[in-house]
Amino acid sequence: MNLISEQQAFAFEVEPTVASFHTHDGSERNVTSMADSTEVENNVTLNPYALVQRQGMIEGNLDNAPTNQSLPRDINPGSRKLLIVITPTHARPHQAYYLNRLAYTLKLVQPPLLWIVVEMTSQSEETAGILRKSGIMYRHLVCKKNLTDIKDRNVHQRNVALSHIETHRLDGIVYFADEYNVYSIDLFEQMRHIRQFGTWTVAKQTQDNNRVTLEGPVCNGTKVIGWHLNELSKRYRRFHAEMPGFAFNSTILWDPRRWHRPTLEQIRQLETVKDGFQASSIIEQVVEDESQMEGLLQDCSRIMVWELNIESNSFYPQKWLMKNNLDVIAPLA
């Protein structure tokens, strides 16, 4: 698939990537690939359509959310799988921009969709205001962990969301959507076809901001046969996927016997693993190997998520500061 027309707008150069193939007989071979330059009252399984109707009555604004007219529409929204989108957030420059941009993206996704946004310590008025005005069914959760005792706040925020899904036995597709990434609408519709675990390619902007590398699976149809491997420091990961590069069935969290999981331990992201290994650590708890994965889409050749380093280039003039939590700045007197 020729991706050059999609990438020219970003003026990025895509580096060659090495796909490491691990075959079933234990052999390994490498190939180089190039891309052209609200709360739940009862602990029960929820009906997604009923959940949409209930939240619509609470918020009163779901009917105003636009839908993506380019995608096929089902007559009965209840026939579509609930998407459970998890987003950790914290106060910093560009937070309002990121949250609003992601909200506008999610509004274009056909319901049912539940957006779980998790903050540290307490719910900020600014984040709550953005969620109320978004027109999206959401839950605003708080992680009570002490910031001085943790290394990565996002890990604990995601775990709060996973615990919420498990406790209320929400039935849908779980996806970790960090607020600063750029997402294709088609990705969310494709997720609804995932049976157990789905994965796809993510384009990552390098730190010098002029190149793009590919992270994720190498596929033959929907079968995952290898992984793009770009950094030698991460070659020991079992699965070379990024956090925005996979989604899975939420029932794996609270119905392990259905999926014949070998352990009844809770599935949680681990803070103790090294940076770059956190996605692999949670995937290892969800699936045993690549045979339980589904590759999306078009042999995993279509890029549907972009990781861009916008914040790394941002700065404010001297003697300027943030007046409030969300992207409101003013000069010092």
Is 98 inside any structural domain? yes
Distance CA 202, CA 217 (A): 9
The DSSP annotation for 91-132 comes to SBTTHHHHHHHHHHHHHTSPSPEEEEEEEESS--HHHHHHHH
The confidence score (pLDDT) of residue 271 equals: 81
Give per-10-residue mean pLDDT for the chain (333 aa).
39 43 47 36 37 36 36 55 97 91 97 97 94 97 85 92 98 97 96 96 82 91 91 78 95 92 86 80 94 91 86 52 49 44
Taken as a whole, the chain contains a residue count of 333
* The two three-digit tokens of residue 177, written as one number: 């959507």
Kindly state whether residue 226 falls inside one of the protein's structural domains.
yes
Of residues 305, 306, 293, 243, the one with CA closest to residue 22: 293
| Segment (H or E) for 271 | none
- pTM for this predicted structure: 0.74
- Residue 73 CB burial class (10 angstroms; 0-12, 13-18, ≥19): exposed
Structure tokens at 26: 């234990």
Position 232 scores a pLDDT of: 67
For residue 70, is it within any domain? Answer: no
β-strands 17-22, 28-33: how paired?
antiparallel
Report if residue 230 sits inside a domain.
Answer: yes
Structural domain contains residue 68: no
- Does residue 23 form part of some domain? no
State which residues form the domain around 132.
Answer: 83-308
Q: Decide if 12 is inside a domain.
A: no
In a domain, 53, yes or no: no
Structural domains counted in the chain? 1
Task: Give the per-residue pLDDT at 233.
Answer: 61
Residue type, 247: A
Give me the CATH number covering residue 199: 3.90.550.10
pLDDT reported for residue 330: 43
* pLDDT at position 206: 78
